[in-house]
Amino acid sequence: MGKSKKQKQKKKDFLKKKLKVGKKADKPSNQTDTSFVAKAISLKNQHLEHETDLSKRLTLLRHHNITVRKETLQDFQKHLPEIIKTQLMTPLLTHAIPLICDDSLTVRDSLIDLLDEVGKLDVHVLILHCNIFVLYINMAMTHIVPRIQMDSTRFLECLLRYCSDEVVRQAWLKLLNGVIAVLGWGMFGNNQASGALQTKKRDSKYTKVHLDVLTKLIKVGCSDAKLMANNNDNHNNQGQDNQGQDDETVNNLSKPFMLAEYPQPYEYLKLFARTLKNKKNLQTDTLTANASMANQDLDSRRAIFKEQFLKKVDKQVDSIIKDGGECGKSANNLKQLLEELF
């Protein structure tokens, strides 16, 4: 009897039990209970920061697909209020500014919208990157593709809208030459067809933009905005005391002893620049020094424009005024400005 009992127990381990309807199978003896009760689950990587996500998208600004570049610019524009005060702005602008010379019109339009939004939120961000802007705008002005060349003045207009003083201080003379070259007015040499296209062959919409930007550039570079503002204030407050004049004289006397309003005010002196002692280098150094002096001094800017540009610009403006239209209105505004200044 005992032997048959043991055999039956051994057979139980190898037999498949028949389950009855509505009855669950028995749990194995070695099962571990993994059930638990919790109100919430918190993970370390659950809350992701926007900055880290957007920094990974910077490389998409160099993507070969046009729509990817455009959508990436639009995505950054949506997140600008969140990242405008962060360290992400410097790599964003260094990746985005080269798109000034992008082949696609939609990408260039998205870039202008992005820069306009940056200027509305914080002007100082554009001022800090002004030298890179000037470099790529000059590249666009001399670009081999006509449409990129046409759009260069749109970027310059956006830059003048928010940081005109910094643009004038850095590269007023160079940008003036560029705008005149884009208009097709050959200023140097007898070959006036050296520009990419002549004015008559250009689209009137682009010519109007070029003329408006040229008017704004001349106005910012050749007129003292502070002096004009003071004259307007004095004209409106003729019956008041002379206290404002006394404050102005005190400010003028103390200004040389105050900190400069912009970084590197004595950069044109080349105190910390290394130069080779060659005749060619000396000539280029003198040219760059004269250009930087012209950019920083109001009187020298006026003198250079009067000597080199005024007669030829007047001649071209008169011919556009005769044609009439929207371009004629813009040319008339430029003509009036030149008569006021010179």
Predicted pLDDT of residue 192:
45
**Residue reference for tokens 């990746």:** 95
Predicted pLDDT of residue 67:
93
pLDDT tens-digit profile, the chain (342 residues): 567 778 877 777 777 777 777 777 777 778 888 877 777 766 655 544 444 578 888 999 999 999 999 999 999 999 999 999 999 999 999 999 999 999 999 999 999 999 999 999 999 999 999 999 999 999 999 999 999 999 999 999 999 999 998 899 888 989 999 999 998 886 544 444 444 444 444 567 788 999 999 999 999 988 876 544 444 444 445 445 455 555 556 566 676 677 766 656 666 666 766 665 555 554 445 445 555 556 667 888 888 888 888 888 988 898 888 888 888 899 999 999 999 988
Contact 73, 110 (CB under 8 A): yes
Distance CA 107, CA 100 (A): 9
Does 314 reside within a domain?
yes
Does 126 reside within a domain?
no
Predicted pLDDT of residue 197:
42
Does 20 reside within a domain?
no
pTM to 2 decimal places = 0.69
> In total, how many domains does the chain have?
1
Quick one: the chain helix, strand, coil %, rounded to 5? 70, 0, 30
Q: Phi, psi at residue 277, to the nearest 5°?
A: -90, 70
Does 252 reside within a domain?
no
Q: SS3 of 161, please?
A: helix
Does 274 reside within a domain?
yes
Predicted pLDDT of residue 124:
92
Q: Which residue range(s) make up the domain with 220?
A: 172-187+203-224+262-341
Does 198 reside within a domain?
no
Looking at residue 218, what DSSP letter applies?
H
Does 132 reside within a domain?
no
Does 212 reside within a domain?
yes
Predicted pLDDT of residue 37:
74
